[in-house]
Amino acid sequence: MPVIIKTENLSKIYGGKIKALEDLNIEIEEGEVYGLLGPNGAGKSTTINLLTTRITPTSGTALVGGFDIKKHSMDVRKVIGVVPQDLTTDEDLTGYENLMMVARFYDVPKNLANERIATLLRLVDLEEAASRYVKQYSGGMRKRLELIVGLVHDPKILFLDEPTLGLDVQTRTQMWEYVRDIQKKLNVTIILTSHYLEEVDALANRISIIDHGKILITGTPEGLKESLKGDIVQLTFKNQEDAETMKKFPEATEARDFGPNIVRVTVRNSDEVLPVLIKYVSENNLTIMRMTVQKPSLDEVFLQYTGRDIRQEDAGDVRKMMMNMRRMRR
Amino acid sequence: MSGLAPLTARELKKWYRNPVFLLTGLIQPFFWLALFGSAIDISKFLGGGAATSAAAGVIFQGASNYITFILGGILVITSLFTAMFSGVNIIFDRRLGPMGRFLTSPIRRSSIVFSKILSAMVRILVQVVILIAAAFVIPNGLVLEHGFSLLAGFVLVVTVILVALIFSSIFSVIAVRLKDMNTIFGIVNLVNLPLLFMSYAMFPPDIMASWLADAAKYNPVSWAAESIRTVVINGTVISSQVANVEWWMGSLAILAAGLVLLTYFVAEKEIRD
Ligand SMILES: Nc1ncnc2c1ncn2[C@@H]1O[C@H](COP(=O)(O)OP(=O)(O)O)[C@@H](O)[C@H]1O
Ligand SMILES: [Mg+2]
């Protein structure tokens, strides 16, 4: 498959010091659903904003749909569809009017625009609501409308920045269905960001984990899980001495510190290795305070590569989410 | 793919669908007309003996009542206010989200600003028509003693349009890079009263403090108010006023052209995230 997006040392530095994105080098192929996974402030929106020409890079560049984002931003804009993190529809217009206005931005002939709008509205079950003012929409309806506004000109590439941010769990899974439908029926390449693991796991066929403006690893969800080389046993000991002894466990394919008195041990197959591990612990007189076993999952991949639990990020996210919800309701 | 047409359509839809917007835009100038227009009773000057009477006739440029005198000023002020607020309106697109869509669409960035300027012009023309109608209707209202020629109509409409262009441009340029609502509305509040009272919109220069009258000479609001005033009072551009009207309107036109160009370049370059 031909490469449709290619970045070359793409970087964005805010105010001379905040490195929002550093030397991004990725290639995305036509037809892919590429997921950018990372906690808040990782640089996901910055990446999307750069690739969609909303902001300009501090250094480096990218080719999007064959066009340079710096030199030919207008051409880039014509071939991409964007669903930014924040809502963009005009509350004082109806759903249909919003769609038609954007179609006219691209000079889509009126008949064709009407045809496409009808198809898109059907795709996200908004036919009924199309003639209503957007201010009367629920949060979920508004997000669905945002999803199709970026598609009225039949773009080759669709960017979705946190498409389910602030939605409840049910609405989120519903959104995933819509995104899958869009990908299948409209044959677009999708670049999606999220800080929900389940989301990229469910939608993307290739994932990059991003943190502090840098990509830590890229691969398929399966490949990433496999890269963990087995199950992870996390043990908290009474003291660091015990922890050090644990790191010498012979069955471990990998063992490393994970905080004070905490060790993460990777083993091939926890079901078989656990009895051996227990024996090792009692022979060496180690005192375990806490122990968890994790089968490979994206959570574990994330933890492994960023050294942080992505779910901890959710606490700080609540305020942002509430704000977003409030905005959506208004 | 300039995007100017769909964006202007959007602005106008938002305007005529919002009853509050529409009403305040019309009621406010109507109040001005009715209240300010009644503030000074020229007949009291005119009735005060031959000398005062002649003096008042000169001061008020021969207007038969104060509403006739002040109409030009009210039209210009209405135009000024509508233009100012539509210029700074761009901040709402930033705040409420649509800007994010505009920035990634293949439209000219200046279209975002010019759609606001164009829609302001349409709104202002509607307001002008309604205000003139109202001026006729209210008691002791507008008197067109010498009729109203086609040329007078031309002067009135063009002047109003130039005022709209000048002030919506100035405030668009100010609002393009500002992200804080308080700053913008602070600026609007800071300048609107000086613009208004340091001009000949409400009062004739001869009864103003001389420093104020001197300062007002350089205010485009004065030029516009005086242009419209002379055609309203005299029914056309009378020969003694030809040079004045040419000077006022010429200055307004040059100013408007310069500001529109400036707006274009600033908008194309400076509308960013
Ligand atoms: N306009 C801006 N000015 C200054 N810093 C910014 C700006 N936008 C983003 N940042 C910073 O850049 C970093 C990456 O932000 P962002 O790309 O929005 O993260 P994400 O979308 O992954 O949550 C953060 O530290 C954020 O504070
Ligand atoms: Mg973001």
Centre of ligand 2 from the C-alpha of residue A40, in Å: 7
Residue A101 has its nearest CB partner, among B1, B10, B272, at: B10
Mean pLDDT of A208-221: 92
Q: What is the pLDDT of residue B176?
A: 87
Instruction: Read off the tokens for A317.
Output: 């996210």
Same domain for A116 and A46: yes
Q: Which atom of ligand 1 is nearest to the CA of A55?
A: 1
Q: Is B6 within 8 Å of A86 when comparing Cβ atoms?
A: no
Q: Is residue A312 part of a domain?
A: no
A234 three-class SS: strand
CB burial readout A233-255, b (16+ within 10 A) else e: bbbbbeeeebbebbeebebbeeb
pLDDT of B1 above 70: no
Q: What is the pLDDT of residue A225?
A: 79
CA-nearest residue, atom 26 of ligand 1: A41
Residue A250's domain spans which residues?
229-295
Q: What is the pLDDT of residue A166?
A: 82
Q: What is the pLDDT of residue B52?
A: 63
Mean pLDDT of A44-52: 97
Instruction: Tell me the range of A51-55, B68-72, B137-141 where mean pLDDT is highest.
Output: A51-55
* DSSP letters for A21-50: EEEE--EEETT-EEEEE--TTSSHHHHHHH
Q: Is residue A73 part of a domain?
A: yes
Q: Is B10 within 8 Å of A93 when comparing Cβ atoms?
A: yes
Same domain for A186 and A81: yes
Mean pLDDT of A33-58: 95
Provide the domain count of chain A: 2
Same domain for A261 and A136: no
Mean pLDDT of A21-45: 94
A18 CB less than 6 Å from ligand 1?
A: yes
Q: Is residue A190 part of a domain?
A: yes
Alpha helices in chain A (DSSP H): 44-51, 73-79, 95-105, 110-123, 139-149, 169-186, 197-203, 221-226, 240-247, 270-283, 298-306, 313-329
CA-nearest residue, atom 2 of ligand 1: A14
Q: Which atom of ligand 1 is nearest to the CA of A46?
A: 17
Of A9, A3, A10, the closest CA to residue A55 belongs to A10
Centre of ligand 1 from the C-alpha of residue A200, in Å: 21
pLDDT of A221 above 60: yes
| CATH code for position A258 | 3.30.70.980
Q: What is the pLDDT of residue B8?
A: 96
Domain end (from A207, A224, A241) = A224
Rg (CA), chain B: 20
Q: Is residue A315 part of a domain?
A: no
Q: Is residue A186 part of a domain?
A: yes
pLDDT of A176 above 90: yes
Same domain for A143 and A62: yes
Q: Is residue A76 part of a domain?
A: yes
Q: What is the pLDDT of residue B50?
A: 59
Same domain for A195 and A80: yes
Same domain for A152 and A125: yes
Judged by a CB distance cut-off of 8 A, whether residue A92 touches chain B is yes
Same domain for A271 and A130: no
Judged by a CB distance cut-off of 8 A, whether residue A79 touches chain B is no
- Domain coordinates in residue numbering, chain B: 4-270
pLDDT of B76 above 70: yes
Same domain for A194 and A84: yes
Q: Which atom of ligand 1 is nearest to the CA of A42?
A: 22
* DSSP letters for B112-169: HHHHHHHHHHHHHHHHHHHHHHHHHHSTT----TT---HHHHHHHHHHHHHHHHHHHH
pLDDT band at B54 (very low <50, low <70, confident <90, very high): low
Cα separation, A129 vs A145, whole angstroms: 10
Same domain for A162 and A142: yes
CB burial readout B127-139, b (16+ within 10 A) else e: bbeebbebbeeee
Mean pLDDT of B168-187: 87
Q: Which residues contact B195 (CB under 8 A, 6 or more apart)?
A: B80, B219, B221
Same domain for A172 and A272: no
Mean pLDDT of A291-319: 69
A76 CB less than 6 Å from ligand 1?
A: no
Q: Is A84 within 8 Å of B104 when comparing Cβ atoms?
A: yes
| CATH code for position A193 | 3.40.50.300
CA-nearest residue, atom 10 of ligand 1: A20
Residue A55 has its nearest CB partner, among B13, B14, B273, at: B273
Q: Give the best residue of B101, B109, B110 to mutate against chain A (max A CB count within 10 A).
A: B101
pLDDT of A315 above 80: no
Q: Which residues contact B125 (CB under 8 A, 6 or more apart)?
A: B157, B160, B161
Q: Is A84 within 8 Å of B6 when comparing Cβ atoms?
A: no
Cα separation, B223 vs B203, whole angstroms: 13
Q: Is A54 within 8 Å of B1 when comparing Cβ atoms?
A: no
Mean pLDDT of B254-268: 96
Centre of ligand 2 from the C-alpha of residue A44, in Å: 5
Same domain for A216 and A234: no
pLDDT of B19 above 80: no
Residues B208-250: tens digit of each pLDDT:
888 988 889 899 999 999 999 999 999 888 888 899 999 999 9
Q: What is the pLDDT of residue A316?
A: 47
pLDDT of A330 above 50: no
Q: Which atom of ligand 1 is nearest to the CA of A38?
A: 22
Of B87, B115, B103, the closest CA to residue A88 belongs to B103
Beta bridge partners of A236: A262, A290
Least confident of A53-67, A177-191, A224-238, B239-253: A224-238
Q: What is the mean pLDDT of chain B?
A: 87
Beta pairing, strands A59-64 & A288-294: unpaired
Q: What is the mean pLDDT of chain A?
A: 89
> Chain A closest CA to B262's CA: distance in Å?
22
Judged by a CB distance cut-off of 8 A, whether residue A107 touches chain B is yes
pLDDT of A313 above 60: no
pLDDT of A297 above 80: no
* DSSP letters for B164-219: HHHHHHHHHHHHHH---HHHHHHHHHHHHHHHHHTSSSSS-GGGS-HHHHHHHTT-
Same domain for A151 and A93: yes
